Structure 1
Amino acid sequence: MRRKIPSSTALTAFEAAARHGSFARAAEELSLTEGAISRQIGRLESLLGVPLFERVGNRVRLLPNGERYAAQVRESLDRLDRDSQYLMGQPKDAASLDIAVTPTFALRWLIPRLPAFSRAHPNITVHLSERTEPFALVGSGFDAAVHFEHPAWAGMRTYPLLQEVLVPVCHPSLIKGAKARVSLDQLPRLHRRQSPDAWQRYAKDSSIPLTNPAVGARYDLHAMLIEAALAGLGVALVPRLYVETELAQGRLVAPWPQGETVSKTFCLVLSEPIGLTAGPSRTFAQWLLEEASKARAEEADCDKSARLHE
């Protein structure tokens, strides 16, 4: 079936006229005559079968259908422009990937490891976009997603990466000196807004009694919680994999047990099996799985060492 897609000239003329609210100013922007703008929009309205503008004398006003369509056209043209710019800036033998990823995982785990990928594969550029909720991967424009395991990924191929095991952390100053005898229940607690019951579940999991576990400041992202903990604002319940560096440097301390059951699994999401995925997508997927495997092995070694010193 032949697609009913308006010409790029008509869409560009319509978007400019809608944005300016004027055929004349759209013509000036696009270096066309006002008559040319009017004809393009007339052809577009004829193709669609609905009027987009109300014409009163020499003035025009977008109709409700026109307003909705203008927003959709603007988004499509912007996306096409971005995609074209990406390709225009690529060498002939280069490739690019678009990966959707949860924001804190990108900031605290993935991005610090990307230089190693770039050194090994200098011809592949990785573009990252924030996605906090699962979505339909097919047709989204993304080559892969790095997200939590979720029923919404049904029909996709998911590959486990790492466990998001939560641990309470704080600035060393909160428990130094005389404060060392202060219990977790006496310290200010910080919360992630999307997980309001995390401290309550942690208390049950760890058998550490907490009075009013929901009391405390709330933040949208784990990255914000980590910064708040570094600033000495309280105890943050965050994934250990995000704060390994700060713990090793002594900038944060974790004197309390991990919440072993308060965890989620990060996974790589593909639209088809890795074995059927071609080119740069397969290269990135295999590299990411190897990096996750190394991280799990390092965590296991650290846990083993900690048990030997207990």
Structure 2
Amino acid sequence: MRRKIPSTTSLMAFEAAARHGSFARAADELFLTEGAISRQIGRLEAFLGVTLFQRIGNRVRLLPSGERYAKQVREVLDRLDRDSLYLMGQPHDGANLDIATIPTFAMRWLIPRLSRFQQKHPNITVHLAERMEPFVLAGSGFDAAIHFEHPAWTGMRTHRLLSEVLVPVCCPDLLKESPGGATLDSIPRLHRRQNPDAWQRYAQETGIPLSNPAIGACYDLHSMLIEAALAGLGVALVPRLYVENELAQGRLVAPWPEGKTISKTFCLILPESIELSGEPVQAFARWILGEANTS
């Protein structure tokens, strides 16, 4: 069945006129005459059988039906523009992978290792996008996701990568400056807003007494907590896998024990099994599983 889709020229003229509230300004933007804009919009209205603008002398006013349609057309044109630029930037002899992931995991673990993947597969370009919450992978436009284990991934193929074990860290100077000795309770505690009871659970697991474990500054992301700890603002309870470099360099210290329970588990999520996936996805999946095994 033939699709009921207006011409792109008419849609672009309409979107510009709706955004500016003026045929003249739309004409200036699109390098057309005002009459050409008017004719394109007239053709669009005839195609749709709907009046989009009210014409009062030399002025025009977008009608309610036009306002709704303008928003929808703008979203479609923006998406078409992004998709076109994406394809234009794709190498002729290569492939693209779109991976959704948690931002701190990407910055602290994945990106520092991606050069090794590029060395092995120079013809595959990996694009990363942030997704804080689980989502429906099918139809999302992503080839894979790296996220926490979650019931939302039921039906998908999940492959465990790493476990998130929390450890208190701070900059070395805080241990020297802490009044009454370097006790965990004497240093300001930093909190992740999404995990407000983490310090209380840590105290129960380790037997380290903490007075008022909920007191302290809150941050949204683990990456913020790490930067705050590096800045000497307090002690942060963060996944060890995020701070291995800082601990090795001595920029952060962790003289206290790790938490006894695994907080969360990172997984690679695929819409189908690795063997049935396309070659670029197979290459990335096998690489990241290998990296996780050696971490």
TM-score, reference length from structure 1: 0.87
Residue type at the aligned position of 2:287 = W
What is the CA–CA distance in structure 1 between the aligned matches of 2:248 and 2:29, rounded to whole Å?
A: 57
Contact residue 145 and residue 269 of structure 1 kept, 8 A: yes
Q: Provide the rounded CA distance (Å) in 2 between the counterparts of 1:195 and 1:212.
A: 16
Q: CA deviation at 1:130?
A: 1.1
Matched, 1:102 2:102: yes
1:274 aligns with 2:274: yes
Q: Are the counterparts in 2 of residues 201 and 262 from structure 1 also a CA contact under 8 Å?
A: no
Contact 1:163 1:265 in 2 (8 A): yes
Closer, same or farther: CA 178–60 of 1 in aligned 2, 3 Å? closer
Q: Flag the 1:158–1:41 CA change in 2: closer, same or farther, 3 A.
A: farther
Could you tell me how far 1:138 is from its partner in structure 2? 1.6
2:55 counterpart residue number: 55
1-side partners of 2:239 and 2:161: how far apart?
Answer: 14
Q: Distance in 1 between matches of 2:159 and 2:76?
A: 32
Q: Report 1:165-204 matches (<5 A).
A: 165-176=165-176, 181-204=181-204
Extract unaligned runs of 5+ from structure 2: none
Further displaced range: 99-108 or 21-30: 21-30
Output the CA distance in 1 between the equivalents of 2:264 and 2:118.
28
Distance 1:134 1:45 in 2: 41
Match runs of 1:247-262 below 5 Å: 247-262=247-262
User: Is the CA contact 2:103–2:130 (under 8 Å) kept in the aligned structure 1?
Assistant: yes
2:36 paired with 1:9: no
The percent of aligned pairs where both chains have the same amino acid is 75
Letter in 2 for 1:92: H
**Is the partner of 1:97 in helix, strand or coil?**
strand
Aligned to 1:77: 77
In structure 1, distance between residues paired with 2:215 and 2:49: 57
Superposed, which structure 2 residues align to 1:175-254 within 5 Å?
A: 175-176=175-176, 181-254=181-254
| CA distance in 1: counterparts of 2:49 and 2:264, whole angstroms | 50
Looking at structure 1, the residues matched to 46 and 160 of structure 2 have their Cα atoms a distance apart, in angstroms, of: 51
The separation in 2 between residues aligned to 1:170 and 1:123, in whole angstroms, is: 41
Query: Does structure 1 conserve the Cα–Cα contact (< 8 Å) formed by 2:176 and 2:182?
Result: no
CA RMSD of aligned residues (A): 2.1
| Secondary structure in structure 2 of the residue aligned to 1:93 | coil
Instruction: Quote the Cα distance in structure 1 between the aligned partners of 2:15 and 2:151.
Output: 39
CA shift in 2, pair 1:205/1:99, >3 Å: same
1:164 corresponds to: 164
Q: Distance in 2 between matches of 1:48 and 1:23?
A: 19
Q: How many residues align?
A: 295
The alpha carbon displacement at 1:35 in A equals: 3.3
CA distance in 2, matches of 1:49, 1:273: 48
Question: What CA deviation, in whole Å up to 9, does each residue of 1:258-304 have, x standing for no partner?
Answer: 11325101111111111110121221111111111111xxxxxxxxx
**Residues in 1 aligned to 2:249 and 2:79: alpha-carbon distance in whole angstroms:** 42
SS at match of 1:261: coil
After superposition, the C-alpha distances for 1:4-30 in whole angstroms (9 at most, x for unaligned) are 433322222222112211122112222
- What is the TM-score normalised by the length of structure 2? 0.92
